[in-house]
Structure 1
Amino acid sequence: MAALRIAIFASGQGTNFQTIADAVREGKLDVTIELLVCDKPSAPVIERASQAGVDAFVFKPKDYPSREAYESEILEELRARQVDLIVLAGYMRILTPTLVEPFMGRMINIHPSLLPSFPGMNAIGQALEHGVKITGVTVHYVDGGLDSGPILAQTAVAITEEDDEASLTVRIQAAERELYPEAIRLIAQGTVTIEGRRVAVGKR
């Protein structure tokens, strides 16, 4: 079976991009990273992509008349590279059906909470404010809603009495670096099926 062809979307530092790229380089993940998509020309993730030998499609949203306009151009880039899976890794743009619908069931995101708890922005702060004892990380499929798609994988992170947002963020990010490559590996193995809201992982 040919290696899964992925595109990573990111807007910032690119720590999850680096984790995935390292896993590929070390032979731990049987995928090829075909493209980085980035909406911020000054983002450090662009240099990470360059170092990894990954092409980057970098754009400024304000140069386009609408979200649909730049997403149409991104879609052309993805199709030209025969991308199988979109991996959102800190991409801070709202997606429209222009991009979501062609990749329904083939686009995943990572979120710093145990969904469906604390969707949206500042999930770590939300968890602390609510006083929960356990939060975590979720990898889910993108369905066009707010962190509402079928859940592929989760891992729990305990909250201690001493935690503040900074300390909890460190442990959440460490959990992300463990979970995201594993979730991509499951998809690459061809063992994942989506049935409504349920995601099943079986043997190939």
Structure 2
Amino acid sequence: MNSDYRIVVLLSGSGTTLQSIIDTGLPATISAVISNKPGVMGLNRAKEANIPTHVLDHTTYSSREAFDQDLQQQIDEYKPDLVVLAGFMRILSDDFVNHYYGRLINIHPSLLPKYKGMHTHQRVMDDGEPLHGSSVHFVNTELDGGPVVLQARLPVLPNDSPESLELRIKTKEHLIYPTAISWLAEGRIELKGNEVYMDGKKMSGPVVMDYM
């Protein structure tokens, strides 16, 4: 691993996305994993990989801003080049997002800008969409609204349920998220203003990996 590029991962649950990042062998170091919920499996996965862990229980804070201030302070102790949201089930305050703008990324289970927010698999099926997928994007102050770097796209099958569709999407997320992180660690991807550049050239849209 290249220890020069440092990542902090934020999660709230089982940590399967974290595990995919660990297993990929990134050209970077995961400096810490932070959870807003104690006792979740994601923390165990980090400990098994000898990654430092921290818990900031959001239920003990009087406001979102107070929690985010402490979270930012904890993250900044590691001086990360990138903050990775990996199933972190918190809406972040504008001050937090702006502090990390250009080095804060998320993965969202839809083909953004379609289907922002929750319950994307059910909504896609309810609308009879032929395609579904997942998007790696920079985080800005608009919910699921930041510039998209990479998408996985796959067909909605006739026998799909929301649960089977979610599972199929998740397996592709575990491929594209480490890929996007690697591109960032290698300096191939950069956010300038609100535009994404890859290998020095402005992207007209996200890279799309089709799993048809």
TM interval, shorter chain, is: over 0.9
- CA RMSD after TM alignment: 1.6
Q: 1:151 touches 1:198 (CA, 8 Å); kept in 2?
A: no
Written as runs of structure 1 = structure 2, the 5 A alignment for 1:19-168 is 19-24=20-25, 29-168=26-165
Q: 2:56 touches 2:71 (CA, 8 Å); kept in 1?
A: no
Q: 2:102 touches 2:190 (CA, 8 Å); kept in 1?
A: no
1-structure distance, mates of 2:200, 2:193:
20
Q: What 5-or-longer segments of structure 1 have no aligned partner?
A: none
Offset from partner CA, 1:102-157 (integer Å, 9 cap, x none): 10011000011100011100111111111100111100000011100001111101
How far 1:3 moved relative to its partner? Answer: 2.8
Q: TM-score, normalised by structure 1?
A: 0.93
1-structure distance, mates of 2:60, 2:127:
40
Aligned residues between the structures: 200
The structure 1 segments of at least 4 consecutive aligned residues displaced by more than 3 Å after TM superposition are 195-198
* 2:138 aligned partner, one-letter code: Y
| SS at structure 2 position matched to 1:86 | strand
1-structure distance, mates of 2:195, 2:153:
19
How far 1:194 moved relative to its partner? Answer: 2.4
Q: What 5-or-longer segments of structure 2 have no aligned partner?
A: 202-212
How far 1:199 moved relative to its partner? Answer: 1.5
Q: TM-score, normalised by structure 2?
A: 0.90
2-structure distance, mates of 1:56, 1:104:
23
| SS at structure 2 position matched to 1:19 | helix
Q: Do structure 1's residue 176 and structure 2's residue 173 form an aligned pair?
A: yes
How far 1:2 moved relative to its partner? Answer: 5.6
Q: 1:3 touches 1:30 (CA, 8 Å); kept in 2?
A: no
Identity %: 35
Q: 1:30 touches 1:188 (CA, 8 Å); kept in 2?
A: yes
Identify the residue that residue 207 of structure 2 maps to in structure 1: none
Identify the residue that residue 6 of structure 1 maps to in structure 2: 7
Offset from partner CA, 1:41-99 (integer Å, 9 cap, x none): 02111111110111112021121121111211121122211111110011001100232
How far 1:192 moved relative to its partner? Answer: 1.2
